[in-house]
Structures are given as structure tokens and as C-alpha cells.
A and B are shown apart, each in its own frame.
Chain A
Amino acid sequence: MTAGMKVGIVRFPGSNCDADVYRAVTEGLGESATYLWHKSTDLEGVDVVVLPGGFSYGDYLRAGAIARFSPIMGEVIDFARAGGLTLGICNGFQVLCEAHLLPGALVRNRHLRFRCHDVGLRVENAATPFTTAYSEGDLLHIPIAHGEGQFVAEAATLDELEAEDRVIFRYVDRRGEATDAANPNGSARNIAGIMNHEGNILGLMPHPERHSLAVLGNTDGLAVFQSLLASVLRARGCRSDPPRAEAPEFAVGAVAGASS
């Protein structure tokens, strides 16, 4: 019996981590997931939208640049702007930036090569709907797999992200320090993942879904999905209760098409 979170995973042509997210949610967490076709305009009442990794539309032109114009993205943008929990992983992060749901951009890795290996990540903020199952300062080992993962933004934007605790994950070494050697792609300030101002949209380059199954020997990424489940349940609990002084911080499962 599942607790009842439903995760919608967008399938763009060229998405290739969609099935991995599906397995993380269903096998790793025991919750339900459904694929959302890029030509569809129906989010099917999901609680969380995930934009998975891959090469949407072949990453031609620029990673994520075409995907953001697909029919489903209109709905995703409305959902996210209405406070719906939205997670973009790797190519999904690139799409979120292209859609201006997150600031900054992801450009080619500093060394101009695709890179795939485990990286050290530090949890910078555990008080978000994506990270409550972690503790601040936790060190994780999560794989990256990208050629365009160098996060760049103007200094003012970076300062704002830092000031508002919206840098959620940072690349660090074994000792937990954000050194240049620990930065796999040249990202500004070792940034691996960021959140929007409202706190309902997360984008990150590493792949938590790849480290969410016990059989593979590392479940450092599963807590992202556990955190989402907790957020959904908390929000739902609030919604069914009479209004309280503390309003839910995050609107979950916002109706598709609701205006922002």
C-alpha cells in the first residue's frame, strides 16, 4: 500500500533517464509514477513533476533550448509558477533554466569533455521540500553524466542565490570542502543544484535517481525522493485540515493550467 504520492515524469524525445527516475520512485521509494508525453497538455493530477536527464530533441541548438517549447512545458510552467513541486535533473535542469524557471545557465564543461563519475556533494540547505530527509552538511556520493553542466550566472544572481540559501547542493571533496579540484565542470562557486525563490523548483546536474536502489550499493540519492514524499504528505495533511496560522509553505499538486 503506497502512501499516495504520484510523480509525473516528462518524456521528451531524447529523454533517457526517464526510466531511471521511474525506478527510483517505484522500486526505491515504493510510490507511483507516470510518464507525461511531451505532446500532451495534461499533467494527470500528479503531485510532483520531474524533468529527467537525457538529450531532449538531441540537445540540438543548445541543451534544453527546444524542449522548453514543447506542448507539455506550457503546463509544467504553469504548474511550477503556481507552486507545484518541480524537479529538473541534468537535462531537466537545463530545460528549467531555458524556461526561466531557474536563474543562470548551463554551458559546456570547463574541460570541454563529457564527464561521468561519482562526485562528492554537500547538502547546503536541508529545509527545502527536496532535502528534508537530509541534514545540512551531509556528504553524498552521486554520479554526474553530462557535457554541459557548468553552471554560470551573473555575480549578482550568484550572491542572491547564496544569500537566500538557494544553493542546495555543492561539489565538494572527500573532506567536504568546495575546492576547485572537486569541481567537475567549472561551475560557479561549485554549484551543483539550485532552487527558485519560492522554494518549489529544484534543478541539479548530478543524478540522485541513479543512487536510489539498494541493489546498486548506494542510496545517497533516495532522500531527495523521500523528502518530496514527506512534503506532499505534509501539504496534503494541511490541506484537509482547517486553515491554520502557518500556511503550508509549498502548494503541492497545483491544478494544471492554473494561472500564476
Chain B
Amino acid sequence: MTRTSLERVEARLGDPVMSAALVAEHGLSPEEWERILELMGREPTFTELGVFSAMWSEHCGYKNSRPLLRMLPTEGPAVVQGPGENAGVIDVGGGWGVAFKIESHNHPSAVEPYQGAATGSGGILRDVFTMGARPVAIFDSLHFGSLDSPQSRYLFDGVVRGVGDYGNCVGVPTVGGEAIFDPAYEKNPLINVMCIGVLPLERLIRGEAEGVGNPVMAVGARTGRDGIHGATFASEELDEEAVDSRPQVQVGDPFTEKLLLEASLELIERDLLIGIQDMGAAGLTSSGTEMAARSGSGIDLDVAYLPVREEGMTPYEMLLSESQERMLLVAKPEHERAVREVLERWDLQAATIGRVTDDGMFRVREDGVVRVEIPVKPLVDDCPTYVREGAMSPATAEARAVDLRPYSSFATDGEVEAALGTLLDSPSVASRRWIYEQYDTTVQTNTLEGPGSDAAVLRLPAEGRALAAATDGNGRHTWLDPRTGGRAAVAEAARNVACSGARPLAVTNCLNFGSPLRPEVYFQLAGAVEGMGEACRALRTPVTGGNVSLYNETGAQPVYPTPVIGMLGVIEDLERRVPSAFQREDDEIWVAGRTRDEIGGSEYLAACHGLVAGRPPAVDLGEAAALVDFLVEGAADGAFASAHDGSDGGLAVALAECAVGAAGGPLGCTVDLDAAPAGANVSAAGRWFGESHSRVVLTCRPGAGERIAAHGRRHGVPVARVGTVGGPGSPCRLTGAGHAIAPAAAELARIYEEAIPLRMSEEAGITS
């Protein structure tokens, strides 16, 4: 199928005429258009314009983020596959690897929450199993507006159903994630889904198109007109008209996904393939060109052979469709028949639509006539990139300057108790049970610690080992101080994983920001990535891939800049894993890490005073790394009965969570917060609810505290005994900074458990 000298690229009859307006509609700037003319040496056809539009969108081309992403470390001893593939892969020992990646589906979910979230799950699952890995876990990191808003309740409900139904049907447990509620996300919810898969390392396969003449096959669902230009859509701001963009949102079919999953793994296991890739964003265009680009080859397709769902589809539509549950694969030529047989066994469509070439061209024909001929390398690799000037927004500067002293103390003990109640009732802090009970969390029988603990823990096929994973991000902190927020996302995720006893190994990231054309957003993006890179280096957790989602804004109101980190770690001996909640009455309670006077950006200020202000807590990376070592070595030594990260709501909330989360029902406790390690001049609010980093609530059997102390000395982590776990009927007696409260543990549990269900009850109403 090499083009002969007689063939020429022909426009189709009826194609729109090129114009500046048409180019602009395709999201390309005049400079980018000039670049296209230069590299093509001619004016592109309408179909070719569509291809450029998709590949040079932010979603595929990373034009505003690529220079910044170079700041991230991507190499380390455990990394087998870094960024640039369908998913990253790390070595977890015993010949086993773990493939993982996080991806956003923010724009589609804002328009159609159920399908947006479902297809987001579908896409990330395919990214993982196309590496040859069996998906074993899904995590969802969700950000919505306040649950007091009917629109947010509608979006939240739809997204949870969408994530749940898809994963439940495919049979992959959803075992962790986060849910944050803040008015900043009212019109632009963030839906980030991480998938983790396990593979024997010798079976690792990549998205490559090698070997001249090898067949290129389209597999799975038929191609329809849905989701055309989804990648470009995801690279624009949402406006009121977006609600009319429903055709750009695809519909998911998890049943077909399950068949694709099983068939793909069988094809890979039997070594029948050269390469395989999801037809995700920008569909056939991105999968075809990216596979060719990785191999330095070309690809020659004829869309006449592509199975379609509708009559009369143009090459433009077929190339840009984002119909779900489709894959592109390059088969070993001698196995083309065997490939077909496997697919037929799973009742899947397979069509050979082209061949690999060596001329470096992405060529697409319509019944033999060439409609597209673009050199692959510049199309994929030379998307123009931009380095912009950033500047802190006046609103951030103003918020940082707010005097927090009026909020730093409490008039009465009752005020402290009320604040604790308000925090436990905040949907961003409260129990996520309403969410995760709609998810299958135990299918595949690997779940050792499911949702509700700091990190989910899953057993690995390698004897005796377990995998721990968590997702974290803090938009509020990042808005107040981008670099600190970037550091915090990594440090908190590492701390969560280390609390379970796992050594953090690598991360995947999802960057959710507004329009980078805005100086204040670019400032946030650049700062957050810088901070993330610093923390990844300090904690020796390289980035193996991820996703950038920009233009999360409506009516010039961007979301909080929200970098989300998905962190993976390994526990050598799964019997040594550490749970989060209190285990037994009379256990000693300890706190590791220093409390400083840091209430800036806290959930306490937001929930109790409606205030997002101050400087967020600093992240000392030396302290963060020392705490991780302390936790991992202490766990391996069996020094901890439980370990729980202190974050949103500070120490008081962390203690309450340990108490209400106890497996057999709430346990009380007696704790003196003043005994916890602290810096100078910590205010009452800082002591109770401040969110200083690198702090953990630990417990151990009575009399076993010396081991905690010894590990603390060894790693330079300040530790102190602060109290004792109480019995099932006893209250949580907390004292500190001259205040004392003793709410019943059962009452705290009630507040914590009812917060989300009450807001989502029938009476609250869900509008559509």
C-alpha cells in the first residue's frame, strides 16, 4: 500500500473551504496554521486539518504543559516504563510488574456525569490492559461543588453511579480515592480515575507499529459519530453552550470492555501481537500516529474497511470519532488468522484496515483515494509548545494576606466541640461510605485494606507481597501557594502509602487547571509542577505518566488549581501491613511529627469560618522523607498497631477518625494534644485543627511504645505518647491549649457517617 507517484492527496467533494474562521474553529492559532503549511508544503485538506486539530490540541499535544513537565523526574530503579506509553510500569519484585495511570474526564462529566465518568473509567482501564496488565484496582479522585447545591448533587450522584457501574461490570474493584467538595468546582467538577494492573514483566507490550507490511487491525466496537473532536472539546473552556455538546460525550459499554480486556490479554499472552493501543482521545488518529511515531515507521490505512455504526460517515468523522471500547493493534503477520480466531471467540469485531510502512507517513485512504498524508514525526512530536509568563492573581495575594489571628483561638470548650462536629460533618472530611458501598470493592479477592483506610492494600501475585496505593491533591493549598500545593500532593500521597507499611515507589499525576492563557493559571501550573518535581525527587518517587487537563473553567472562573497524585508502594510482607483505625482498648496513642502554627488554607477555616486564606502549611521535604522511612521501617519491625495520616481537619479530626473507624464499632480515647511534638507558639486552633504536614497518629500495644520512640530517634522524627485508646462505650476525651472536650465516640461516628447520606437523601432532591 505504498503510495505510487501517480497518486495524489485529494480533497473530498463537499469539504468546507479553508478559511481563517475554519482554522480557528479547529482550535489552531494563525501561527500554528503557518507551521502546518510549512511542514506540509501545501494547504492541508479538510480531513488533514481535523487530524492536526486533534493532535495539536492541549489534550494530545500538551502544548502549554510539555516544557513544564520536563521538570519532573521520570527515572528510578523501579521504573520499567516511564511517560509516553499507554501507562507507566514499575517492577514490584518476583518477576511482576504493575502498570498504572491516572486520567481526567472532567469536561464530559460536567455535561453528562454518568457517561462521562463511565467512559473515563473505560479509557483508563484500556490504557492499562493494553500494556499486557490485568487491571486489579480503580481509584477515583473526585472534586465537586458544595453538596448544598442541587447541581452538584446531581453531578456527584451521576459520577458515582458511572464510575461504579463501569468498574462493577468489568469486574475491577474500586478500592480508593478521594472526594472533595468546594464551591470552586461547582461548574467544573474534576473526575480523575486511576487504574492499576498487574503483569508478568516478560509479557510487557507497548503501543508500537513495527515491521513493514504488518497488518493494522481495528478491534472492538464499531465506529460511530459520537465524541468527534472530544480531544479538542476537552481543551476548551466550558460555556453555557457546552450543555448542547452532548454529542461530544460518548456512551460506555462495559460489557464490550470486559470482552476486549479478556481478548487482549489472551492475544498478548499467546504472543500474537507487535503492538496494541487504545483508541481513546482523538480515536484512530492518535492511536495510529502515536504507534507509528514510537517505532519511527509509517502507517497506511483505508477507512473503507473500518467497521462503522452509521451510513455515510466521512473520513474526517471516522478519524476523529471517539466511540468507546475500540483498540488498534498491529499483529504479527503469521498470526493474523489466530488473532481473528481469538477475537471471534470473544464475539468481537476485527477488521484489517491497513499496513505498517517505512516511509514515515500517516496516510489515510477512502476506498483507495488518499485523503490524508502527513509526516508522522512532526505531527506527533513537533506540536508547538509555549512557555508563558505567569503571575499570582490579586485574589490569591489578598487571601494570603488575611490576618488569621481572629480565628486562632476559641472562647469556650463548646466552641471547640462544635468545630470538631462541623469538621466531621463536612463532606470533604466525612465518611465516604455512601460512595464506596456503590462500588464493588472486593471482586478479584485481592483486597486486604479497602476504602476508608489511608491507602488501599492489595495482595500481589508475588508471594507474600502487597501493593499499597492512594490518590491525593489539595486545590485550596495549591491556590494559595502553587509550589507548596504541588509538594503537598506528593508528600501526602507518600505518607498515606507509607502509613500502610509500604515503601512508596512511583507516581502518576493528573494536572487539573484552568486556562493556561491566563497568567495566574500559568503561574499556578508552573509552580505546582515545580513543587511536585521537588517532592518526587526528595521522596525518590519518579513520575511514570499521567494526564494534563486544562481549561477547567466556566465564565472566566477557573477551578482551584488541583494537581492530583496517584502513588504506588510495595509492602514486602503483607502480614506486616498497618491498618488506619484504632485496634484495641488500652493501646497507647502516639503522635509522630511536629505541629506548627499552621491553619492557613485549612478545612477548619473553610468549614467553620467560610474562609480560604493564609499561607498553606509548609512542606519540609527532609521531614517528609524521614517520616516515610520511619513509617516503613517501623511497620516492617511490627512497631505499630495502627497508623493514620493527619491531614484535613488536623490532629483532632485524625484522632476522631481513628476512633470512629475501629472495626468492631467506635472506640473512645483519652488524649492530651499538648503532649504532641510541637514548634513554638502554636495557637489553640493550630494545635487542634491545623494541617501541618508530616504528622501521623500511631498506636501500639500497652508498653510497646519504646519501639516507636527508638524508630523516631533513628530517623530524627519527633514522637511522643499522647494518650490511650478507650473502650467501646467511652468518650473521646481530648484536651489541649486550655480546652477539654469529651464527646461520645458513637456521637462522632453518627455525625461522620450521616454527613453525605443526609445531603444525598431523597428529600434533598437530585435535579437533572
Interface residues of A (CB under 8 A from B): 13-14, 16-17, 19-20, 23-24, 39, 53-55, 57-60, 113-117, 143, 145, 147, 207, 209-210, 212-213, 215-217
Contact = CB atoms under 8 A, between A and B. Distances in A.
Nearest to B174: A116
Contacts of B367: none
Nearest to B449: A217
B445 A55 contact: no
Contacts of A59: 169, 255
B255 A58 contact: yes
Interface stretch (B146-154, B181-189, B213-221, B432-440): B432-440
A216 B577 CA distance: 12
A213 B445 contact: yes
Contacts of B253: 58
Contacts of A54: 171
Given A13-B347, A14-B258, A145-B168, A215 B438 contact: no
Contacts of B459: 215-216
Given A58-B169, A114-B165, A215-B574, A210 B442 contact: yes
Contact of A116 (B345, B346, B439, B444): B439
Which 7 A-B pairs have CB atoms at the shortest separation, nearest pair first? Answer: A16-B171, A58-B255, A145-B440, A55-B169, A20-B445, A116-B440, A143-B442
Interface in B130-152: none
A210 B445 contact: yes
Given A16-B170, A54-B171, A114 B442 contact: no
Contact of B443 (A39, A113, A145, A147): A145
Given A13-B347, A114-B164, A115-B438, 19 more contacts: A16-B171, A16-B258, A17-B443, A19-B444, A23-B445, A55-B255, A57-B255, A58-B253, A59-B255, A113-B438, A114-B438, A116-B438, A116-B440, A145-B168, A145-B440, A145-B443, A147-B168, A207-B442, A210-B442
B441 interface: yes
B699 interface: no
Contact of B171 (A17, A60, A210): A17
A14 B169 CA distance: 7
A116 B347 contact: no
Given A13-B255, A13-B258, A58-B255, A114 B448 contact: no
Interface of B: 161, 164-165, 168-171, 253-256, 258-259, 345-347, 436-445, 447-448, 459, 574
Contacts of B448: 215-217
B719 to A, nearest CB: 29
A212 to B, nearest CB: 8
Contacts of A17: 171, 443
A5 B609 CA distance: 65
Given A14-B169, A16-B170, A58-B169, A116 B441 contact: yes
Contacts of B164: 114
Nearest to B762: A111
B269 to A, nearest CB: 14
A117 B437 contact: yes
17 contacts: A13-B347, A14-B259, A16-B169, A16-B171, A39-B345, A55-B169, A55-B255, A58-B169, A114-B438, A116-B436, A116-B440, A116-B442, A143-B442, A147-B168, A215-B574, A216-B447, A217-B448
A58 B574 contact: no
Contacts of A20: 443-445
Contacts of A213: 445
A20 B758 CA distance: 35
Contact of B255 (A23, A60, A209, A212): A60
B751 to A, nearest CB: 20
A19 B172 CA distance: 12
A40 to B, nearest CB: 11
B573 to A, nearest CB: 12
Contacts of A145: 168, 440-443
A213 B446 CA distance: 10
A14 B255 contact: yes
A13 B443 contact: no
B103 to A, nearest CB: 22
A17 B442 CA distance: 10
Contact of B445 (A13, A58, A147, A209): A209
A13 B171 contact: no
Contacts of A13: 255, 258-259, 346-347
Contacts of B259: 13-14
